[in-house]
């Protein structure tokens, strides 16, 4: 039995390649993009609704923007879907750039379902990166030493780690051996155990990663894509979501593109500044994707 995974940097054409594989191998797609799982988030997330007419796509539009969806939830849903696709004699093709989802699906990783502590997050969100590092170091001096520069300078990652450690401490289950928490990868390459999760002995995995050959190509592609989504009605989409009662604090809207345009609609940013910040954030995100994924030696990389 065969599973194809198409992942990689943002704006590299992952869905297009996945569709080609679906046609070639009689496949069905499983979305692993953390933004496309949300309903109503269509234009900025780049959903191809016409794709649904060409092939079955799982895990599109499954939760509302104000609902939390974790990697734990992804694995819990993806396993039975993969089995169902196999039962139809078809090939599961997992596509998306949220490597956190894929990592938890493929490897033996702690996927405890720790929901967000919004009171704690609100307390931490205005703190500087340096302050967050200090707080995390107090929780776990061992863990702070193990983080790479990307993790150390990512406030959302730091807040999530503090959140998890706080959750465990409250339940008096924090042990030294448990300090390698979510988002922390082992220095040694982990062994894929998806076959065990599926109960399948003879499982063949093709994991393809798409990346830009150089920084200039990355910037050009992201700038063009942001421009296209603006022409398709990105601002109107955000305005509609706000009128529906959703806010910038909802999980679905705490993402690139939505955050910048919300600030524009609130009068905080002019449109040109909002667009430039959106582009810059997308470029930074693409670089972070590569930082995490390049540690996985099971990915076969292709330049686009």
Known binding-site residues for ATP equal: 8-15
Where is the binding site for substrate, in residues?
A: 10-15
- From the annotation, which residues make up the binding site? 8-15
**What is d(CA 171, CA 110) in angstroms, rounded to the nearest whole number?**
17
- Order of strands, edge to edge, in the sheet holding 91-95? 57-58, 27-31, 91-95, 2-8, 204-211, 300-303
As to burial, measured by CB atoms within 10 angstroms (0-12 exposed, 13-18 middle, 19+ buried), residue 130 is exposed
Neighbours of 50 (CB within 10 A): 7
């Amino acid at each position: 039995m065969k599973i194809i995974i198409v992942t990689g940097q943002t704006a590299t054409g992952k869905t297009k390649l996945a569709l080609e594989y679906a046609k070639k191998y009689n496949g069905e797609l499983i979305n692993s993009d953390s933004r496309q799982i949300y309903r109503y988030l269509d234009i900025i997330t780049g959903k191809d609704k016409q794709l649904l007419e060409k092939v079955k796509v799982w895990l599109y539009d499954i939760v509302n923007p104000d609902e939390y969806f974790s990697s734990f939830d992804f694995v819990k849903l993806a396993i039975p879907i993969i089995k169902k696709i196999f039962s139809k004699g078809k090939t599961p093709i997992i596509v998306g750039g949220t490597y956190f989802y894929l990592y938890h699906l493929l490897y033996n990783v702690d996927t405890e379902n720790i929901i967000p502590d919004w009171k704690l997050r609100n307390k931490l969100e205005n703190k500087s990166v340096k302050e967050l590092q200090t707080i995390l170091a107090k929780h776990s001096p061992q863990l702070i030493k193990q983080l790479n520069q990307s993790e150390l300078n990512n406030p959302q990652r730091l807040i999530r780690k503090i959140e998890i450690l706080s959750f465990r401490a409250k339940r008096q289950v924090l042990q030294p051996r448990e300090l390698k928490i979510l988002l922390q990868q082992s220095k040694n390459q982990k062994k894929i155990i998806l076959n065990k999760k599926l109960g399948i002995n003879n499982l063949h995995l093709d994991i393809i990663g798409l990346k830009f050959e150089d920084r200039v190509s990355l910037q050009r592609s992201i700038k063009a894509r942001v421009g296209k989504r603006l022409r398709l009605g990105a601002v109107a989409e955000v305005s509609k979501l706000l009128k529906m009662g959703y806010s910038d604090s909802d999980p679905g809207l705490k993402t690139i593109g939505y955050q910048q345009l919300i600030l524009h609609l609130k009068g905080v940013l002019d449109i040109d500044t909002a667009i430039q910040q959106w582009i810059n954030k997308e470029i930074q995100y693409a670089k972070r994707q590569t930082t995490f994924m390049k540690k996985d030696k099971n990915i076969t990389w292709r330049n686009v």
